[in-house]
Structure formats: C-alpha cells, structure tokens
Amino acid sequence: MSDLPLIQADRAVPPPATTTSRGGRGRRLRLLSRTDRVVITLMVLVPLLLVVGLVWLPALATVALSGTNWDGIGPLSEIDWVGARNYDDVVNNYPPFMPAVQNNLLWLAALFVVATPFGMFLAVLLDKELRGSRFYQTALYLPVVLSLALIGFVWQLIYSRDQGLLNAVLGGDTDWYGDPHVNIWAVLFAAGWRHVGYIMLLYLAGLKGVDPSLREAAAVDGSSEASTFFRVVFPVMRPINIIVLVVTVIESLRAFDLVWVINKGRNGLELLSALVTANVVGEASRIGFGSALATIMLVVSLVFITLYLFTVMREDRR
Amino acid sequence: MSTAILTRKPAATTPAPNRRPLRPARVVLHLFLAAVAIGWLFPILWAVLTSLRSYEYTASHGYVSLGGWTLDNYVTAWKTAEFGKHFLNSVYITVPAVLLTLFLASCVAFVIARFSWKLNIVLLGLFTAANLLPQQALLIPLFRLFTQVPLPEWMSDSELLYDSYWGLILVNVAFQCGFCVFVLSNYMKALPHELYEAAMVDGASVWRQYWQVTMPLCRPALAALATLEVTWIYNEFFWATVLMRTGDKFPVTSSLNNLRGEFFTDNNLVSAGSVLVAIPTLVIFFLLQKQFVRGLTLGASKG
C-alpha cells in the first residue's frame, strides 16, 4: 500500500485559487454539499453491501463452519466446535478427496502445459499481418462464447460410446465419458479446446501492445525471430503472463460445469468443486465437512487472487 | 490494465495489399492455421450437421454418412425440453442482472475514479477479488441464507430467496460486479479530469457528474461489458443448478442438466438442443464480436 500517495497525486483536483487550503482530503470533502456526500455514500454502500453480504461474509462463514460439526438442520446453538477434525476426515477418511486433488492438478497441468502455450503460439502466428487472420481468430475463439455445460453436450456427440464420432472412426467401443481410465482426458481435451481460444485472445492483445521498436532493434542486432520472442517480447509481456497464469489456475480450480453435466463429478471425474456441491445439495448434507473442502479451495484461490491484484494494480499505476 | 494496450494500435496497418509473391513459409503458415481453425470449428459444425439428420437414418447408416436430412429434431427438442419457457427464464434473469450489474458497478467505479480516498484501493481489491473466488466455496452459507430469507408470494412462489429469480439475479450481480468495477474504474480514470472541474464550475452535483458527464463517455466500455455480461450470465450454470429447485424455473443453461436424461439415447436430439442453446450466444458473438473481444481484453481476468 506504500504506493498510495502516488495515485492521490495523480488524481488530486487542483485547488480552486480562492480556497485557503488545509490538507488535500479535508478540502475536497468540504467542497461537496451534503446531498453530494449522501449520494456518494449510497453509490458505494449499496454495491458494497451486496458484495460483502453475498460473497465475502459467506466466504468467512465457510471458513468458520469448517471447524464445526453442524449438520445443516439443527439450530445454530447446537453447533459444536471440532477443531481440525473435518480437515483430518477430508484428507484421511474420504476416498474421493485424493482423486479430486489429482484431477484438479491434472486440469491445471493440462491447461498450463498444453493449452496455454498453444494459445500463445497461435497468437504469435496471428500477430503477423496475415491475410484471413480474422477468420482464423474467429474460429479459434468461437468456443469461448459457449458455456462449459454446453461444451459437455457438444463433445458428447464425439465421445458417446454408441453414437459418437470418435468410436465410429476408430472402430473401438470406448465409453469416453464413462470409462474412469480415460474420461478425465476426454474432458480435459474439451476444456482445453475452449481455453486455447481465450489465451490466444489475451496474448494477441498483449502482443499488439508491445512497442514495435523493440522488435526492430532486436532484428537490427541480428536476433532471430524465435529468440526475439523469448528474449525481448515475452519478458515485456510480464503482466499479461501473470494474468494468464492466474486465469489458468483459477479456471482449473473452478472447473465444475463440464463434469457436473457429464456425471456430477464421479467415477473418474472427481473435482473439488463437485465434491463440495455434492456434500451440500446431495442427500447427506455434511456442512462442516463440505466447508472444510471449500476452505481448501478458498485458500488456494486467495493466494493467486492476491498475486493477480498486485499485478493489475501495479500496472494501473504506471 | 490493458487499456494502455488497447489504445496503442498495431503498427502501421498497411493499406496497400501485399503484392510480394507468397513465400513457402507463408504457405505453410496458412495451411497450418487453416487446419487448426477448421479443427476448432469442427465440433460445432458436427453438432449442426448431426442435428439436421434423422435418428433412423443415422442409426442404420452410422454417423459417418450423409443423408436423412430433416428439421424434426429441432421441433422435437424444442417441445420436449420446453425451450420456449427456459429461454424466457433466461431473459428474466439475464436482463435485470446485467442492467443492475452495470449500474451498481459504474457507481462504485465512478467514486473510485473521481475521488482519491485512501480506501479506494481496498474497495477496488474487494470488488475485483470477489469476482475471482471459486463459487463453490461460498455455496454452503449462501444456500442456508437463501433458504432462510422469506420473500412475499408475489415475488416468488417459493416464498423464499431460494428457488426464486430474485435470488439468482442478486447472486449473479454480486459476483459480476467486481469485474465491471475493475474495468470501468480503469476506463473512467483515463477520462480527462478537466471535465469535472468544468462541471463543478457549472455547479453540477455529483450525481449529475456521474450520470451526464461520465456515463455518456463510458458508452464504449459499457457496450463491451454488456455484451460480455449477457454471455456470461446466460451461460451461468452453477448458481442456477444449486439455488433453484423447480424444474420449470430453470434458465436454459442449467436446464441442460435435465435434458441429458430426456435425450439420453438420441444424439441427434442432443445436438439439436445444443444448437438451440448456443444460438443466442452465437448471434451475440457474430453481431457484437468487436465488443466481445474488447470486453475480454479490457479486463483480461476471467473466462
């Protein structure tokens, strides 16, 4: 927060010549009429209440509930504090937990190691002024407008055992969505299909922002196209790189729709998000236990959200 | 952050067509990109193709064939899955949610951009981060909250926030506000400050400065965000799945979940249903492509 004065200096209203000033903030506040102050308060307060009430307080409540044994039905007075027992149960007595963690990590790895570099590669290719570039771009990010739930359906036409294209072409009889040995890969392929277009779009915008004289200078120095990219362009795009990293992590952590429409996240498609949901809306609603799972997600995501905030806010200030 | 990126245009868009002979490297590049692009479109084209063929024909000839053209799948899918009703539900949720999100977010963004208070950065962080939290992590308390808050019967026949459009609208607004606050405050900070000085000399109140000075200038950003938010809220799956109970009230995207059972054995119906659900977003995409892309790159934060 040490950069704060910097923004203030940027935004400060120059004092009207006649005002005898007494410190920046108080002065500006006094210029506002009472109605103005009420209006400003309302403009901030109403949205803030909504976001705090429906996002931040529930997030805190999740953390608090994760230390209790509440069954979700009884009155709040019957809650007992059980410390870390829920976490212990999650890790040691809950068979789907480890597969879910593995699948979430696999999801992250697949997006990060395959889909993201591929999207970046395509952006670099499309950044050259090519004829028909617009068509290629449109085709690549078309999947981005489809919901992941819908993508589950679209790919069913390819993966289905009896009516799918893949088996018709390969002649096998694999149930690509049903077989726990292969279904996570099938799902990841569909998720990656969408992710590539999104990353391509972000990098394409990033590349357009790179100062062309940097590249020219590198070319004059006799640097090859590839080494110019890795040594000059890529490092300059650092903010975009961090944003893409965070987007990829958050997407892998929030992955839900696709597995939920396929089989509610069971049988090879376990994901943390699906386990939390199953523990709350399922028949056996285990609140404390589900909250412990949710808290784990929350903590992981907050680490990356913080990284994100630092990156974008520093960018803002430049 | 990317406003800076966007204002810088790609270097010198050459107006004259490139007359140089195509180098072999270019040909390879085009072939590669064309192959990828067609590969990328393929799943969608395949869905369209399958939806136009009768089940009997594909059942006997296999899917790798041509023929059996019909539109019946669409008629059947529309009736069986009651898409008319679900599309209407999506409208009931998406339209108010998008308008409310843009209004509330622009209010906060205006205050953040217009005044320089110490809390601004905290405020911006609170809103932006809220948009990135995993929804499932908030599910348990929200689910309990929604089942406890009563609504009068004229607002929802469930008489609860749970299983009502109001609840879904609120939760979508709360979640989407952060992204819009972030994008709009950046956009508003780039507006010249002299505007407000002039407005203040004219004695314009804060509300008039917001509504008559700032908002008209933010039209491009608002259009981009509206396009994006319509797509996202229309595509929203999780909240409607867990905070709704009555099958008749589900918006389109979440009603897909029930569709799976009904269409289980008939892929041609599944594909017709998928195409129907995709149509609104595809129309938005093709009509407002520029807005959509600009919105995504303006914020560069979410998918």
pLDDT tens, B152-208?
A: 888 888 888 899 999 999 999 999 999 999 989 988 988 888 888 888 888 889 999
CB contact under 8 A, A8 and B128: no
Nearest residue to A240 (alpha-carbon basis) of A152, A116, A87: A116
pTM (2 decimals)?
A: 0.86
CATH number of the structural domain A96-285: 1.10.3720.10
Residue A19's pLDDT is: 39
- Is the pLDDT score of A76 beyond 50? yes
A315 touches B at CB < 8 Å: yes
Higher pLDDT, B16 or A193: A193
For residue A153, the chain B residue with the least C-alpha distance is B274
Residue keyed to tokens 């790798």: B64
CA–CA dist B36, A200 (Å, integer): 13
> What is the reported pLDDT for B280?
93
Query: Taking CB atoms and an 8 Å limit, are B115 and A308 in contact across chains?
Result: no
pLDDT at A80: 78
In chain A, where are the structural domains located? Answer: 96-285
A191-201: average pLDDT: 93
Residue B123: what are its φ and ψ, rounded to 5°?
Answer: -60, -50
DSSP label at residue B18: -
User: What pLDDT score does A43 carry?
Assistant: 94
Which of the 8 DSSP states describes residue A19? -
The dihedral through the CA atoms of A241, A243, A246, A247 has a sign that is: negative
DSSP A183-212: HHHHHHHHHHHHHHHHHHHHHHHHHHTS-H
What's the pLDDT at A29? 52
The continuous run of DSSP H or E covering A68 comes out as none
Which chain B residue is nearest to residue A56, measuring alpha carbons?
Answer: B130
B267 vs A135, A160, A201: nearest CB: A160
Contact B111 A43 (CB under 8 A): yes
Interchain CB contact of A139 with B (< 8 Å): yes
SS (HEC) of B212-244: HHHHHHCHHHHHHHHHHHHHHHHHCCHHHHHHC
> pLDDT tens digit string along A82-132?
888 889 888 888 889 999 999 999 999 999 999 999 999 999 999 887 888
Dist CA B287 CA B264 (whole Å): 33
Interface test with A, best of B38, B132, B236 (most A CBs within 10 A): B132
Instruction: Report DSSP letters for B63-119, one per residue.
Output: SSS---B-SHHHHHHHHHTTHHHHHHHHHHHHHHHHHHHHHHHHHHHHHHHHS--TT
Q: Which of residues 56-115 of A touch B (CB under 8 A)?
A: 56-59, 61-62, 65, 72
Which domains can be identified in chain B, with CATH numbers?
22-73 (no CATH), 74-299 (1.10.3720.10)
Q: Residues in chain B with pLDDT < 50?
A: 1-17, 301-303
**pLDDT tens-digit readout, A138-164:** 999 899 999 999 999 899 889 988 888
Query: Does residue B111 contact residue A48 with C-beta atoms inside 8 Å?
Result: no
The tens digit of pLDDT for each residue in B251-265 reads 998 888 777 766 667
Proportion of chain A above pLDDT 90, given as a percent:
39
Distance between CA atoms of residues B50 and B173, nearest Å: 37
Q: Does A285 score more than 80 pLDDT? A: no
Asked if A192 is an interface residue toward chain B (Cβ–Cβ < 8 A), one would say no
User: What is the pLDDT at residue A318?
Assistant: 54
Q: Does the distance separating the beta carbons of B301 and A247 come in below 8 Å?
A: yes
- Residues of chain A found within 8 Å of residue B182, distances taken between Cβ atoms: 312
Q: Which of B123, B236, B254 sits opposite A44 (nearest CB)?
A: B123
Q: Helix, strand or coil for residue B160?
A: strand
Mean per-residue pLDDT for A167-171?
86
CA distances from A244 to A46, A119, A196, A211, A305 (A): 32, 11, 11, 20, 12
Residues of chain A in contact with residue B297, where contact means CB-CB under 8 angstroms, are 201-202, 205
Which element (helix H / strand E) includes A293?
helix A287-317
Neighbours of B20 (CB within 10 A): 6
Alpha carbon of A181: minimum distance to chain B alpha carbons (Å): 22
Q: Are A66 and A86 in contact (CB under 8 A)?
A: yes
ipTM: 0.84
